[in-house]
């Protein structure tokens, strides 16, 4: 029986442990990624939530930017939650002038679009491909302002002032959500990513 794919979790900052726990529960081999040589050992990457500007600075300080950008350009599957969506976006709005992204998704993302920490909220969302709604936890979350032609919209906010805003997308083997399924107790979003990874292994 072939070994399960190895999924790396970018481990420079953010809610790394939560993603590791979910992926482990789903039977994946998991590697925390902090060094360039670890990038070459993984079949896919998860970019966790956290502080996107800090994560960007640490990715560059640890010399991870070039190998990660290269692997993504080569087609490595990736999933980003919250700040991870920001790091995987090709374009940012309201970002610091010196902020970099890893790219991989032909989307424009607005950082902290839903407001500050006190504006965090939870909502059940219809998610493409899943029968029952996903319980989504939004914490200082971004949203997607614009998607390219090859990007599939997976979920939108259902109610309130932000109704209709795009909060989950997929382009080929790369997926991202504005919310944090790793803290909501619902593993189905991660299971969708595992399915993508396994289909390409």
Active site amino acids: 82, 180, 182
Rounded distance between C-alpha atoms, residue 145 and residue 46, angstroms: 22
Are 126 and 133 in contact by the 8 Å Cβ rule? The answer is yes
d(CA 188, CA 175): 13
- The closest alpha carbon to 74, from 103, 117, 31, 95, belongs to 103
Q: Is beta strand 143-147 parallel, antiparallel or unpaired with respect to 121-125?
A: unpaired
Phi, psi of 182 (to 5 degrees): -70, -15
The Cα 147–Cα 123 span in angstroms is 23
CA distance 139 to 83: 10
Per the CB < 8 A criterion, the answer to whether 105 and 144 are in contact is: no
CA proximity to 64, closest of 39, 93, 90: 39
User: Quick one: which of 77, 103, 81 has its CA closest to 92?
Assistant: 103
């Amino acid at each position: 029986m072939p070994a399960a794919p190895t999924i790396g979790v970018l481990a420079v900052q953010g809610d790394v442990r939560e993603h590791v726990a979910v992926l482990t529960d789903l039977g994946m081999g998991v590697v925390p990624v902090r060094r360039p040589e670890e990038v070459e050992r993984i079949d896919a990457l998860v970019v966790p939530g956290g502080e996107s500007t800090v994560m960007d600075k640490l990715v560059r300080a640890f010399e991870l930017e070039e190998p990660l950008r290269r692997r993504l350009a080569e087609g490595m599957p990736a999933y980003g939650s919250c700040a991870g969506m920001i790091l995987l976006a090709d374009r940012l709005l309201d970002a610091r002038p010196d902020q970099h992204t890893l790219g991989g998704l032909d989307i424009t993302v607005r950082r902290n679009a839903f407001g500050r920490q006190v504006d965090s909220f939870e909502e059940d969302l219809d998610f493409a491909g899943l029968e029952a709604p996903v319980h989504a936890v939004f914490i200082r979350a971004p949203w997607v302002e614009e998607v390219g032609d090859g990007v599939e919209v997976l979920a939108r906010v259902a109610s309130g002032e932000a109704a209709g805003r795009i909060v989950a997308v997929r382009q080929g083997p790369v997926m991202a959500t504005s919310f944090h399924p790793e803290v909501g107790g619902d593993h189905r979003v991660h299971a969708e990513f595992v399915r993508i990874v396994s289909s390409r292994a």
